[in-house]
C-alpha cells in the first residue's frame, strides 16, 4: 500500500521490506512520542498560563516517575536494538553459494567484474532472484557502495576487502551512489544497477564480450609471476600448497590460527611476511605495488577456485589443479 | 529613555574602564565573555554564509552555481567553522564564562589569565582558519577522513588541521578553568546539591572537553605528519589503517556533540523554572543525567562506523550502548515538561526558545533512535537523514538554547532590555524556518540522497527547493536578534537587577554586575530554584491580551 508514496525509494531487494518495516515502526513510535510531548507542552502552557490570583504549586519531583520514564524507554530501546541488529545480521551474512561479483572503486568510477569475466563500468547487470555477493576494494580513497532501492550500503576501503550482498526482487534500473565523500567528483560517482529477468540476463551475459573468467585470468597472472615454482600442487614446494586452502583455518608460524578468507589471501600476496604459514620460511617476495587492484582481484578469485570441486559453482578454471584430493595442511 | 539620563550610572564591569587596552588585556570573565561573543558571532555569520551558498547550489539538481571543488570546500569549511569556531565555544565560552562565577557566587574564574589566554588561542586559531579559507580553503569535509585527507586532497589540509588543533587548546583551557572554579570557588553554602543545573551541565561539558579534546589534537597531528612526512599511520599503501583514523576522530567528535548540547540543556533548565515559577522537577535526575551523558558519550563513537568495515559484533555492542546514552536525554525532556505542570507559565521570549528547544531536541533525539538501529543505519547513514538529525540536535538544540540563553541573560549582560515583541517574532521565525529547512531532509535521506552531493538526480528536487526556501527564512531569524541586541545596547529600556524575578545568585547583583560581581560575598542558605519564595515580576502578572 505504501508503494505509491514518494516517501521512500523503490523496494527492490529481499531485505528492503524488513528495513522499511522497522522504519515505519520507528516513524510511528517517534510520531507518537513527539505528539505526546508536544501535546503536554501545549496543554500545560495554556492550562497553567500566568493568571492573576493563581500561584504555581510547589512540586519537587517524583522518584516513581523518574524510574518509570527511565525504565520504560530503555525497554522500548532494547526492542528497537534487537530488531535493528537482526536486520543487520541478515544484511551482513551472505547466503552460501551466492554469486560473487568483484567491485573495484576508484576516483570516480565503479568497476565491476562478473565471475564469468564480464566487466562493467558504473553499471551492474543482475538477474532477479539470485543472491549476489559483492567483494569490494578501493584503489585510492574510501568510497561507499550504496543502492537505496536495496537498502544496502557498505564502505569500500583501500587495502582490504569488504562485502555486501543482496537478492534483487524486481526488474528495473536503480541508482548506485557513492555514499562516502571521496573528493571532487564524489557526486558524479554514480551508476546504475540493472535488474533483469533471468532469461534476459542470460542473453545479456552471452552477448557481452567475455575476456575469460576471473579465475582463468587469475591463473595466467599466477603463471606469469612465477608463483607455481613454489606454490606447487604437491607438498614438495617451498611455499604452501594452495589447493583447498580457501575458507579453511591456517596454522601460522607464530602459533596463531587464521581463516584463509579474501583479506588473508590479499595480505599474503601484498606483504607475505605478515602471516607466515607454519613450517614455511618468509622467503616470498613482496608484491605490494607490483600487481594492480584488478589483478589482485583475479588472483584471489583463482586461489578461491582451487578450493571448489570441479563440478561446483561457476567460474572454476578448467585446468586449475588437476587434482581434487582432500586439502592438506 | 529620558529617565535613563537622570539616574547616575553605577560603576559596573562595562563602564569601569574604557579604551581598547582595557578590553584586550582584561582578565574579567565578563569582559572575556563579550570578547568571545563578538568573535563567535563573526564566525557564525561566516559559517552561515557558506550554508546559504550550499543551499543555493542545491536549489537545482545540476551543479550550476559553483564548481564541484568549490562546493566541496563550502561544506567542509561550513562544518569546520560552525563546529570548532561557533558551536563548541558558543554557550560555554560566552554564557558559561559570564555566568559560572556569578552563579556560584565567585569573583571570577579560578584562572583569569588562563581564561584570557584561551580567548587569544581561539583568535589565533580563528586567524589561521581565515587564512586557510582565503588562500584556497580545504575540501576534506570537517571529518578529515583518511586517506583522502592525507594522500589525495590537494587543498590546505595542514593549515585547517593546525587551526583546529590550536582551537582545541582554547577549549581545553576553558574546560579546565570551569572544573577548578566549580570545585574550589563556590560561595559559602553553595553545596553541590544547590548548584544551578546550568553549572552541572557545564561541569559535565568541561569534563568532556578535558578528556576528549586531547585525542582530537593527537589525531590531527597524526594527519598532519602523514601528509607532510609520509608516515604510514592511516594510509594502507604505507602500512597504515584508514579505520584507525575514524576510531580516533569519533572518539572525540561524538562526545563533542555533547559539548555542544549539554550547555544548551543547562540553559533550558534555568529558563523553564523561571517562567513557570516553580522549582525544577527532578533536580537530582537532571543533574545526574548530565554526568551520565558525559560518561556514556565516550562509549558510543563507533556508531558512526556501522558501514565502515568494523566487525559485526563490535557494531552490535556500539548499537546497544548508543541506546543507553539516549536514556538520560529522555529523562531530561520528561523532567522539563513535568516542570511546567501546575506552574504559572509566561510566554516571554526565552521561554519560547525553551519550547522550541524541547520540540526540536526531541525530534533530533528520536531520529537518533533510527540511526542507532543497525539495520536502518545501513540505509540512512551518509545520507541527508543524518544531516537532518544532527542539525536538529546541534542547530535546533544547541543554537535554540544559545539564543534562549542570550535573551534570558541579556539584561544582566548589557543592563538593557531588548524589544520583547521583536524577540517573540524572531523566535517564531527561527522555529518555522528551521523546520522548513531541515524536516524535508529527513525524507530526502530515506529516499536515498547521499550527503556531500554537489549535483543530484532530479527526483530529489522538490524537497531540496523546500529546504532552500526554509534556509532563507532561518537566516532572517538569525539576523534579527543581532540587530535588536545591538539596538538595545543604546536604546533599550534599562534593565532591573532581576527583571524576570528569577532565582539564582546572578540576579542578586546589579545589571550589569560590578567587576568583582558582588559587593559582599553571598552566603547561600536556600536550594536552587526556590521560586515559591520569590514573587513574580509585576508586569508579567498581567499578561492577558
Could you tell me which chain A residue has the CA closest to the CA of B462?
A6
The pLDDT value given to residue A210: 62
In which band, very low, low, confident or very high, does the pLDDT at A2 lie, cut at 50, 70 and 90? Answer: very low
Chain A residues with CB-CB distance to B145 below 8 A: 141-142, 180-181
CB interface of B with A, residues 64-93, below 8 Å? 68-69, 72
Q: Are B109 and B115 in contact (CB under 8 A)?
A: yes
- Closest-CA distance of chain B to residue A30, Å: 6
User: A60 or A26: which carries more pLDDT confidence?
Assistant: A26
* Secondary structure of B488-521 as H, E, C letters: HHHHCCECCCCCCCCCCHHHCCCCCCCCCCCCCC
The pLDDT value given to residue A320: 38
The pLDDT value given to residue A329: 38
CB contact burial B310-320 (16+ within 10 A = b; e otherwise): beeeebbebbb
Contact residues for B69 (Cβ-Cβ < 8 A; gap 6+): A184, B139
Q: Are A306 and A218 in contact (CB under 8 A)?
A: no
Please report, in angstroms and rounded to a whole number, the separation of the first and last CA atoms in chain B: 25
pLDDT at A11 over 50: yes
Handedness of CA B445, B448, B453, B459 (dihedral sign): negative
- What CA–CA distances, in Å, run from B363 to B293, B356, B359, B389? 18, 11, 6, 8
For residue B370, the tally of other CB atoms under 10 A from its CB is 25
Chain A residues with CB-CB distance to B359 below 8 A: 34, 37-38, 41
Q: Rounded to the nearest 5 degrees, what angle is found at the Cα of A262, between the Cα atoms of A85 and A217? A: 135
- DSSP strand pairing (A109-113 vs A119-121): antiparallel
CB interface of B with A, residues 177-236, below 8 Å? 236
- Closest-CA distance of chain B to residue A130, Å: 21
Chain A residues with CB-CB distance to B316 below 8 A: 85, 88
Gap between the Cα atoms of B217 and A24, Å rounded: 41
Give yes or no on whether A1-43+65-211 and A214-305 have one common fold. Answer: no
Task: Kindly state the cell numbers that stand for B356.
Answer: 522550541
If residue A153 lies in a helix (H) or strand (E), which one and from where to where?
strand A152-156
For residue B231, the tally of other CB atoms under 10 A from its CB is 15
Chain A residues with CB-CB distance to B277 below 8 A: 50, 55-56
**545 residues of chain B, pLDDT tens digit each:** 444 445 567 789 998 888 999 999 999 999 999 999 999 999 999 999 999 999 999 999 999 999 999 999 999 999 999 999 999 999 999 999 999 999 999 999 999 999 999 999 999 999 999 999 999 999 999 999 999 999 999 999 999 999 999 999 999 999 999 999 999 999 999 999 999 999 999 999 999 999 999 999 999 999 999 999 999 899 998 889 999 999 999 999 999 999 999 999 999 999 999 999 999 999 999 999 999 999 999 999 999 999 999 999 999 999 999 999 999 999 999 999 999 999 999 999 999 999 999 999 999 999 999 999 999 999 999 999 999 999 999 999 999 999 999 999 999 999 999 999 999 999 999 999 999 999 999 999 999 999 999 999 999 999 999 999 999 999 999 999 999 999 999 999 999 999 999 999 999 999 999 999 998 889 999 989 999 888 887 654 444 43
Gap between the Cα atoms of B532 and B528, Å rounded: 11
With the CA atoms of A8, A13, A14 and A18 taken in that order, what torsion angle do they form, in degrees rounded to the nearest 10?
-20
Gap between the Cα atoms of B520 and B107, Å rounded: 10
Chain A residues with CB-CB distance to B194 below 8 A: none
Provide mean pLDDT across the span A77-90. Answer: 95
Which range has the worst mean pLDDT, A121-135, A307-321, B426-440?
A307-321
- Closest-CA distance of chain B to residue A85, Å: 5
**Which among B260, B255, B257, B272 is positioned nearest to B196, based on CA atoms?**
B272
The pLDDT value given to residue A209: 61
The pLDDT value given to residue B539: 57
For residue B27, the tally of other CB atoms under 10 A from its CB is 16
Point out which residues pair with A13 in neighbouring strands.
Answer: A168
Task: Kindly state the cell numbers that stand for B372.
Answer: 542507532
Chain B residues with CB-CB distance to A85 below 8 A: 316, 319, 374-375
Give the pTM.
Answer: 0.89
8 Å CB contact of A158 and B147: yes
Q: Are B151 and B169 in contact (CB under 8 A)?
A: no
The pLDDT value given to residue A322: 37
User: B475 or A280: which carries more pLDDT confidence?
Assistant: B475
With the CA atoms of B394, B397, B403 and B404 taken in that order, what torsion angle do they form, in degrees rounded to the nearest 10?
-160
Handedness of CA B15, B20, B26, B29 (dihedral sign): positive
Cβ-nearest to A184 among B69, B143, B374: B69
Q: What is the ipTM of this complex?
A: 0.91
User: Domain residues of chain A, as ranges?
Assistant: 1-43+65-211, 214-305
Domains, chain B, ranges and CATH?
29-536 (1.20.210.10)
Which CATH number, 3.90.79.10, 1.20.140.10, 3.20.20.150, 1.10.760.10, labels domain A214-305?
1.10.760.10
**Which among A58, A54, A52 is positioned nearest to B532, based on CA atoms?**
A58
Provide mean pLDDT across the span A59-82. Answer: 92
pLDDT at A291 over 80: yes
Cα B510 to chain centroid, rounded:
27
Say whether residue B441 is in contact with chain A using an 8 A CB cutoff: no
- Closest-CA distance of chain B to residue A125, Å: 20
Say what angle helices B349-372 and B242-276 make with each other, to 10 degrees.
150
Say whether residue B385 is in contact with chain A using an 8 A CB cutoff: no
Could you tell me which chain A residue has the CA closest to the CA of B305?
A155
**Which among A244, A249, A255 is positioned nearest to A278, based on CA atoms?**
A255
Which range has the worst mean pLDDT, A67-76, A290-299, B29-38?
A290-299
Sheet of strand A109-113, all strands in order from the earlier edge strand to the far edge: A119-121, A109-113, A99-106, A131-138, A162-167
The SS3 assignment for B345 reads strand
Q: Are B447 and B460 in contact (CB under 8 A)?
A: yes
Say what angle helices A63-92 and B349-372 make with each other, to 10 degrees.
40
pLDDT (tens digit, 9 = 90+) per residue, A191-215?
A: 999 999 999 999 888 876 666 788 8
CB contact burial B125-154 (16+ within 10 A = b; e otherwise): bbebbbebbeeebbbbbbbbbbbbbbbbbe
**Which among B342, B296, B67, B29 is positioned nearest to B185, based on CA atoms?**
B29
Inter-chain contacts counted by CB atoms under 8 A, chains A and B: 288
The pLDDT value given to residue A313: 40
Residue A97, Cβ density class (10 Å: 0-12 exposed, 13-18 middle, ≥19 buried):
exposed
Say what angle helices B197-229 and B283-296 make with each other, to 10 degrees.
10
- Closest-CA distance of chain B to residue A276, Å: 17
* CATH class of segment(s) A1-43+65-211: mainly beta
Amino acid at each position: 500500500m505504501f508503494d505509491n508514496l514518494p516517501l521512500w525509494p523503490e523496494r527492490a531487494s529481499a531485505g528492503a521490506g524488513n528495513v522499511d518495516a522497522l522504519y515505519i515502526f520507528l516513524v510511528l513510535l517517534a510520531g507518537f512520542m513527539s505528539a505526546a510531548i508536544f501535546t503536554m507542552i501545549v496543554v500545560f502552557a495554556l492550562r497553567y498560563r500566568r493568571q492573576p490570583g493563581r500561584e504555581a504549586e510547589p512540586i519537587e519531583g517524583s522518584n516513581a516517575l523518574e524510574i518509570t520514564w527511565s525504565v520504560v524507554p530503555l525497554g522500548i530501546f532494547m526492542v528497537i536494538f534487537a530488531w535493528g541488529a537482526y536486520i543487520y545480521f541478515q544484511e551482513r551474512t551472505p547466503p552460501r553459494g551466492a554469486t560473487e561479483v568483484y567491485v573495484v572503486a576508484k576516483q570516480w568510477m565503479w568497476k565491476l567484474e562478473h565471475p564469468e569475466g564480464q566487466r562493467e563500468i558504473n553499471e551492474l547487470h543482475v538477474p532477479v532472484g539470485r543472491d549476489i555477493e559483492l567483494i569490494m576494494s578501493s584503489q585510492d580513497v574510501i568510497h561507499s557502495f550504496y543502492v537505496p532501492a536495496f537498502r544496502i550500503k557498505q564502505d569500500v576501503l583501500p587495502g582490504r576487502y569488504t562485502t555486501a550482498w543482496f537478492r534483487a526482487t524486481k526488474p528495473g534500473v536503480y541508482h548506485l551512489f557513492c555514499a562516502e565523500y571521496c573528493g571532487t567528483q564524489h557526486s558524479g560517482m554514480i551508476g546504475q544497477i540493472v535488474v533483469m529477468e533471468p532469461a534476459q540476463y542470460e542473453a545479456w551475459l552471452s552477448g557481452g564480450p567475455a575476456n575469460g573468467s576471473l579465475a582463468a585470468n587469475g591463473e595466467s597472472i599466477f603463471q606469469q609471476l612465477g608463483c607455481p615454482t613454489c606454490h606447487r600442487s604437491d607438498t614438495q614446494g617451498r611455499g604452501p600448497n594452495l589447493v583447498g586452502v580457501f575458507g579453511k583455518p591456517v596454522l601460522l608460524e607464530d602459533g596463531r590460527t587464521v581463516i584463509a578468507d579474501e583479506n588473508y589471501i590479499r595480505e599474503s600476496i601484498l606483504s607475505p611476511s605478515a602471516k607466515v604459514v607454519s613450517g614455511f620460511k618468509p622467503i616470498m617476495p613482496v608484491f605490494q605495488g607490483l600487481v594492480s587492484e584488478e589483478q589482485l582481484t583475479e588472483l584471489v578469485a583463482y586461489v578461491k577456485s582451487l578450493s571448489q570441486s570441479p563440478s561446483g559453482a561457476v567460474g572454476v578454471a578448467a585446468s586449475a589443479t588437476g587434482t581434487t584430493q582432500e586439502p592438506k595442511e | 529613555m529620558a529617565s535613563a539620563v537622570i539616574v547616575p550610572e553605577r560603576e559596573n564591569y562595562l563602564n569601569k574602564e574604557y579604551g581598547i587596552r582595557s578590553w584586550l588585556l582584561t582578565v574579567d570573565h565578563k569582559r572575556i565573555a563579550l570578547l568571545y561573543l563578538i568573535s563567535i558571532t563573526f564566525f557564525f555569520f561566516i559559517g552561515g554564509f557558506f550554508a546559504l551558498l550550499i543551499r543555493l547550489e542545491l536549489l537545482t539538481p545540476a551543479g550550476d552555481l559553483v564548481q564541484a571543488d568549490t562546493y566541496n570546500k563550502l561544506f567542509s569549511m561550513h562544518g569546520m567553522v560552525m563546529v570548532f569556531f561557533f558551536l563548541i565555544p558558543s554557550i560555554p565560552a560566552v554564557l558559561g564564562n559570564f555566568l559560572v562565577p556569578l552563579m556560584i557566587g565567585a569573583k571570577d574564574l579560578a584562572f583569569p589569565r588562563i581564561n584570557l589566554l584561551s580567548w587569544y588561542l581561539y583568535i589565533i586559531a580563528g586567524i589561521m582558519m581565515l587564512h586557510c579559507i582565503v588562500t584556497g580553503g580545504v575540501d576534506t569535509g570537517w571529518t578529515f577522513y583518511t586517506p583522502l585527507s592525507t594522500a589525495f586532497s590537494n587543498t590546505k589540509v595542514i593549515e585547517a588541521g593546525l587551526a583546529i588543533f590550536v582551537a582545541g587548546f582554547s577549549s581545553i583551557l576553558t574546560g579546565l578553568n570551569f572544573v577548578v572554579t566549580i570545585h574550589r570557588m563556590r560561595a559559602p553554602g553553595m553545596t553541590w546539591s544547590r548548584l544551578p543545573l546550568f553549572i552541572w551541565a557545564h561541569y559535565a561539558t568541561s569534563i568532556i572537553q578535558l578528556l576528549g579534546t586531547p585525542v582530537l589534537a593527537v589525531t590531527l597531528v597524526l594527519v598532519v605528519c602523514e601528509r607532510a612526512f609520509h608516515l604510514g599511520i592511516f594510509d594502507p599503501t604505507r602500512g597504515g589503517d584508514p579505520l584507525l583514523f575514524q576510531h580516533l576522530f569519533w572518539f572525540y567528535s561524538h562526545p563533542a556533540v555533547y559539548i555542544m548540547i549539554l550547555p544548551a540543556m543547562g540553559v533550558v533548565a534555568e529558563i523553564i523554572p523561571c517562567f513557570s515559577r516553580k522549582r525544577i522537577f527532578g533536580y537530582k535526575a537532571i543533574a545526574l543525567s548530565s554526568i551520565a551523558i558525559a560518561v556514556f558519550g565516550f562509549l558510543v563513537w563507533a556508531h558512526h562506523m556501522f558501514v565502515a568495515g568494523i566487525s559485526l559484533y563490535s557494531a552490535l555492542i556500539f548499537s546497544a550502548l548508543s541506546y543507553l546514552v539516549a536514556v538520560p536525554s529522555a529523562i531530561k525532556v520528561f523532567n522539563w515538561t513535568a516542570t511546567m505542570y501546575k506552574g504559572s507559565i509566561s510566554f516571554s521570549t526565552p521561554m519560547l526558545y525553551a519550547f522550541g528547544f524541547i520540540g526540536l531536541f526531541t525530534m533530533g533525539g528520536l531520529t537518533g533512535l533510527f540511526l542507532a538501529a543497525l539495520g536502518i543505519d545501513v540505509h540512512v547513514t551518509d545520507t541527508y537523514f543524518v544531516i537532518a538529525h544532527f542539525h536538529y540536535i546541534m542547530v535546533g538544540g544547541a543554537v535554540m538554547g544559545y539564543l534562549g540563553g542570550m535573551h534570558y541573560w541579556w539584561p544582566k549582560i548589557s543592563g538593557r532590555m531588548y524589544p520583547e515583541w521583536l524577540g517573540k517574532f524572531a523566535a517564531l521565525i527561527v522555529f518555522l524556518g528551521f523546520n522548513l529547512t531541515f524536516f524535508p531532509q529527513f525524507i530526502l535521506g530515506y529516499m536515498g540522497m547521499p550527503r556531500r552531493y554537489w549535483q543530484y538526480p532530479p527526483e530529489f528536487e522538490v524537497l531540496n527547493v523546500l529546504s532552500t526556501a526554509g534556509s532563507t527564512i532561518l537566516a532572517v531569524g538569525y539576523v534579527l536578534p543581532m540587530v535588536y541586541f545591538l539596538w538595545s545596547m543604546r536604546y533599550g529600556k534599562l534593565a532591573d537587577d532581576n527583571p524576570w524575578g528569577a532565582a539564582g545568585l546572578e540576579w542578586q547583583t546589579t545589571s550589569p554586575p560590578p567587576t568583582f560581581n558582588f559587593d559582599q560575598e553571598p552566603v547561600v542558605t536556600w536550594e536552587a530554584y526556590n521560586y515559591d519564595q520569590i514573587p513574580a515580576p509585576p508586569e508579567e502578572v498581567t499578561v492577558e491580551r
